[in-house]
Structure 1
């Protein structure tokens, strides 16, 4: 059997819509168990190792889905660092402050935080280490992290990644290694909650 890696996004976080969040350690909503049950339906029994962001919206899911595994937690699998904007309302951020990032979020860093390129660099580095183990693995992480990995594997321009990879809370993406290349298959991706990750004026 070829190497398989399952990318799993955390369930719905307990945060008000319109709030900017990245590495804030948000809890999950009361729909956690039902969302996790739907995720579990798409996971095989042969997963050997599990890697997760240490933030609780991921760690809780990883431990729930894989109770018999020893979970490996890695800071590199955290969501993008939103720096000074963390937990502020998108629409409360001054337009002159947020627009440079909105116009070029790939290269421009959030004040006190990261750019999309920063996120890509650390997530692809840990991903390549996981791939090198040649094992069947699961990665429980965040939308930005999973989108970065998929962009890396498909040579998708980062600026286009949000349109190309519409990853909902609780999504499951299967990666299969064939002829030294990963192919991806979206197994589960149901929109249950609308998201807002930018100001409403943009």
Structure 2
């Protein structure tokens, strides 16, 4: 059975441009969040027998969009998976990117997979947890009679998570070695990409 997976980035957060914020639990801008929910609701293929399963990262900015969407799309099943959080940037959280020493960024680029930029989490760590969340979701869907081909799955998450899952779905690889392998683009705030996934 093939289902549609929507990878949605949260709306613009309440933070100045150029700030590294990662897992800092910021709120989304209210108006931007409302517009993002409207645009997503308009894009969803809503039919009488369509079911939606929504996963959020648990961070406030993703929960806000899920709840705003729930006001527009009835009977959303919203679940939380902390593995869908953005990368944790440790001591660099809420620092201006321009204030982070260049040698720290270079060290990350030179050992992109394993270097813990900020001291907490590496890109490989992020990739591993995102793949685990995805595989666990597939397992639940395979063994749940509730979710048939009419079910659409929505992840309301973050740019890093979307890049990680996009890399895995495109390559089938659970490891990464070089920065050039990492997807360069991600949806803008409140935007999304769609993927066809095989539940079987």
Taking structure 1 as the reference length, the TM-score comes to 0.79
Instruction: Indicate conservation of the 8 Å contact 2:85/2:158, yes or no.
Output: yes
The match for 1:50 among 50, 54, 66 is 54
The answer to whether the aligner puts 1:117 opposite 2:131 as a matched pair is no
Deviation of residue 161 (structure 1)?
2.8
Q: Distance in 2 between matches of 1:48 and 1:179?
A: 15
Instruction: Indicate conservation of the 8 Å contact 1:28/1:57, yes or no.
Output: yes
Q: Distance in 1 between matches of 2:137 and 2:197?
A: 13
The match for 2:183 among 162, 167, 180 is 162
- Listed one character per residue, the Cα deviations across residues 123-158 of structure 1 (whole Å, up to 9, x for unaligned) are 110111112214432111101111111110101866
The answer to whether the aligner puts 1:64 opposite 2:68 as a matched pair is yes
Instruction: Indicate conservation of the 8 Å contact 1:42/1:172, yes or no.
Output: no
Deviation of residue 27 (structure 1)?
1.1
Q: Distance in 2 between matches of 1:114 and 1:59?
A: 23
Deviation of residue 179 (structure 1)?
9.4
- Listed one character per residue, the Cα deviations across residues 94-117 of structure 1 (whole Å, up to 9, x for unaligned) are 233332013333321113321111
More displaced stretch, 126-135 vs 54-63: 126-135
Map of 1:145 onto structure 2: 161
Matches within 5 A, 1:99-114: 99-114=106-121
Map of 1:172 onto structure 2: 192
Structure 2: 5+ residue stretches without partners? none
Taking structure 2 as the reference length, the TM-score comes to 0.80
Deviation of residue 65 (structure 1)?
1.0
Deviation of residue 32 (structure 1)?
2.0
Equivalent position SS for 2:7: strand
Q: How many residues align?
A: 179
Q: Distance in 1 between matches of 2:40 and 2:56?
A: 15
The answer to whether the aligner puts 1:37 opposite 2:13 as a matched pair is no
- Listed one character per residue, the Cα deviations across residues 180-199 of structure 1 (whole Å, up to 9, x for unaligned) are 6xxxxxxxxxxxxxxxxxxx
Q: Distance in 1 between matches of 2:13 and 2:182?
A: 22
The answer to whether the aligner puts 1:129 opposite 2:136 as a matched pair is yes
Q: Distance in 2 between matches of 1:176 and 1:98?
A: 35
Equivalent position SS for 1:113: coil
